[in-house]
Structures are given as structure tokens and as C-alpha cells.
A and B are shown apart, each in its own frame.
Chain A
Amino acid sequence: MAIDHERDLGLAREFWQNPFSIHSPALAALMRELRREDPANRHFLLLVDPGRKWMLARTDSHSATGFSFYEDKLFDSPEEAEWEIFRLRWKRITGRELPLSFERGANQ
């Protein structure tokens, strides 16, 4: 599916509110699109401080180790990381920035 920043902002909010839940069919379709990444350049989380800190990383065929680590992208929870990578992928596809957060409880 093509992702449209204005039209799909509500789906972004739905994900932000609860990344680990039963998603609406529209969000599920959007997630399938966002999660489609080249295996040679695929994002993942590295556990750097068990139960406390996660670092964003990706496979990188140009790196000697096969990986690139984003040492400035550290998260306190998997939920926080999910939202950050959601925003990163959203921008890659739409060219538009999502807010760091939404107002909790407000309508889109």
C-alpha cells in the first residue's frame, strides 16, 4: 500500500498508543509495508543493558562486522524503540516527519 502522511496519520497515532496489540486492518497493512526492508540493510535492536537499554542497529554488508550500530539511538523500552523505528521508516517512505509523540487521548 502507498503511505500518505496526511491520510494515514491516524494509523501512526494508533501504533504510537499501543505498538503491541491487535492492530486495525489498515494499520496491519501499513505495518507490513513499513517492515519490508532489504535483508542486507535491516534494522534490529541490540540489548546493551539487559532490561534497561536497547540500541538501534542494522545489518550492513559494507561494514567489516556486517553491522552498523547507532550509538546515539538508545531506548529505555522496546515500545520506545518501536516508535522510533516507525518514525524513521515513515520518513523514508513519505519524506515527512512524524511528531515525537501525540497528545494522549486526543482525536487525530
Chain B
Amino acid sequence: MKSVRLTIDGRAVEVPDGTTILDAAMANGIKIPTLCHLEGVKDYGGCRLCLVEIKGSPKVFPACTTPVGQGMEVTTNSDRLKEYRKMALQLLLSERAHICSVCVANGACELQSLASELGVDQLIFERDWPELSVDLTHAYLVIDRNRCILCTRCIRVCDEIEGVHTLDLMLRGKETQVVIDLNENWKNATSCTGCRKCAKVCPVGAIYVKGEALSSTKDKEVAKFITERRRSAFE
């Protein structure tokens, strides 16, 4: 396969053609913050945390969905990008009820750890926390929509890896919510296999397994692991 040379933060790297900037960076040990990206499923481009700059354009580009180009000069950590990442976190934290001290995911939450990593310790916007429904009807799965950041990792893993598409979005704008089947209670969701993949990939405390420590449930690698296993089985 053709390979592409580019620089990321001044470092020369070489990756196969078609690689995304994010994968190219990760493969070379350069970390770009992400929330909606999940290895093993299609990229969504929604959280806007992974934005990078490309020399020659005044715009910013999502690293997770932008393919590398020959001779590209990518910057992942300018002041503007840092500002933008903080802004995204500010917005997510003030959108729905993120009170870490009373959240099941406290200590095992990607939103929380990114906030502390990037230095977001005080909210600059009015909180806008609506009261959304919590579904506790399932024998062991819970969805608390008040914690959801709408990254759709759960939806994609359920659709693309488990192959059942139990989860999807309804409504739009700030009303957007993850629903189960056609807005059913989880216990009535006939399509759900109960596989827990959605809980494993949820970056926050929105979907979790009752009575299980979050640190043991969450497993961002699960989608990647399964895709790789499948691929090797067919080889």
C-alpha cells in the first residue's frame, strides 16, 4: 500500500494512505484528546475534541475523520486548539447534570479525566441541566440520560459490533436523547441481547451495569478487540 509522509507537531511520520490524522498521531505516540472516537467502529465526528490545524488552511479539522495527505503539516496542540478543547468540555459539562461527586462513574469517567487533564475546573456558562429520564427497568443495565454526552459510542457498538441496533437517537438539538428500540423501557427491548457492550464503551456514567464497579465495566478497547478477533478468524 502507498504510504504517506507528513509531519505532526513537527515530527516526521509515515503512515499508509487512507489513515486518519488521529490514527497517524496515535501510531506515533502523539496523543490527541477524543470522546466520540472508538476504535473498531465508524467515526462520528461529533464531540469536536480532536480538532487539529493543518498548515495552509485557516480552518480546524477533526483528526478522527480527516485522512492524512502527502506533505501535510499538522499541529495538534496550538493555543487555539487548547482553547477549543476546553470550550467543548465547558459546554458538555454545562449541558447535562455532571455532578461528579454523586456519579457512578466518578473516577472512571473520560469526561472527568479530560477536564482535569486540560484544566477545566470551573464552569463559565450557566448550567442548563434539564431533568431527563433514567431507565432502571432492565435486570442489570441502566441508562441515565442526565449524564449522556451524545457521543453515540453505545449506538455504534450496538449496531456495528453486536449487530442489533437496539439503540438510536431521537429528537434533535438539545433535546436529542439516546432511546432504546422505539423509545421503549429497556426491559421491553426485544432486540437487546444484553451483551453489555454499550456499558463497556460509554465514556461517562450514562450506561452502566448495576452493582458493578465502573472501573471494571468500562473497556474502551472492547470494540477494537472484537473487530480484531473477527478479522483474524477470517484470515
Asked if A and B bind, the verdict is: no
A interface residues with partner B (beta carbon < 8 Å): none
B interface residues with partner A (beta carbon < 8 Å): none
